[in-house]
Chains A and B, each alone.
Chain A
Amino acid sequence: MTESVMTSTQTEKRNPWNAIAIALLFVAIYFGLIVTVADQYMNADLSFGLPLAVRTLTAVLGGLLGAVIFLLGDRLEGSTSTITLLLVVAVVFLIIGTYFGLYVAPPEQFMGEVQRIMYVHVPTAWNALLAMTFAFACAIFFLFNGDWKWDALMEGSIEVGVVLAFLLCCQGAIWAKPTWGVWWDWDPRLTTTAVLLFAFLGILALRKFVDDPVRRGVWSSVATIIAYVDVPIVYFSVRWWNSLHQLQSNPNTVSKPFWIPLRANAFGILLLMTAFILLRARVASLRLKNELAPPPALLESELGEVV
Chain B
Amino acid sequence: MLIAALRKEMLLQWRTRAQLMAVFVFGAAALLLFSFAVGPVAEMLRQFSAGFLWLGLLLSSTLTLAESYHAEMENHALEGLLLLPANPRALYYGKAIANWIQLTILGMALVPVMVILYDAGTTRIVALFFVVALGAAGLSAPGTLYAAMTAQVRSRQTLLPLLLFPLIVPALLASVKATSLIVLGDPMGQLKSWISLLVAFDAIYWSLCGLLFDRVVEE
Contacts and interface: CB of A to CB of B under 8 A. Distances in A.
Task: Note whether A and B contact each other (Cβ less than 8 A).
Answer: yes
Contact of A237 (B154, B165, B174): B174
B155 interface: yes
A251 to B, nearest CB: 26
A191 B71 CA distance: 38
A195 B166 CA distance: 5
A230 interface: yes
Contact of A215 (B146, B177, B219): B219
Interface string A221-258: 11101110110011011101100000000000000000
Contacts of A205: 158-159, 162-163
A203 B150 CA distance: 12
A218 interface: yes
Interface string A208-221: 01100011001101
Given A205-B162, A237-B170, A229 B149 contact: no
Contacts of A233: 170, 200-201, 204
A205 B166 CA distance: 14
Contacts of B158: 205
Given A202-B163, A229-B204, A240-B193, A234 B170 contact: yes
A219 B149 contact: yes
B166 A206 contact: no
Considering residues B145, B170, B208, B209, which has the most beta carbons from chain A within 10 angstroms of its beta carbon? B170
B74 to A, nearest CB: 20
B142 interface: yes
Contact of B215 (A218, A227, A230): A218
Given A195-B169, A209-B155, A240-B197, A203 B204 contact: no
Given A206-B163, A209-B153, A241 B204 contact: no
Interface residues of A, number: 31
B172 to A, nearest CB: 9
Contacts of A222: 145, 149, 212, 215-216
A137 interface: no
B86 interface: no
Interface string B187-210: 000000110010011001100110
Interface of chain A, helix or strand or loop or mixed?
helix
Interface string A175-201: 000000000000000000001101101
A20 interface: no
Contacts of A238: 169, 173
A288 interface: no
Nearest to A201: B162
Interface in B132-165: 142, 145-146, 149, 153-155, 158-159, 162-163, 165
Contact of B162 (A202, A221, A226, A240): A202
B167 interface: yes
Interface string B64-80: 00000000000000000
B166 A225 contact: no
B219 A202 contact: no
Nearest to B188: A244
A227 B159 contact: no
Interface of B: 142, 145-146, 149, 153-155, 158-159, 162-163, 165-167, 169-170, 173-174, 177, 193-194, 197, 200-201, 204-205, 208-209, 212, 215-216, 219
22 contacts: A143-B215, A195-B166, A195-B169, A198-B162, A199-B166, A201-B162, A206-B149, A209-B159, A210-B153, A215-B219, A218-B215, A219-B149, A219-B215, A221-B215, A222-B145, A222-B215, A222-B216, A223-B149, A225-B212, A226-B167, A229-B208, A237-B174
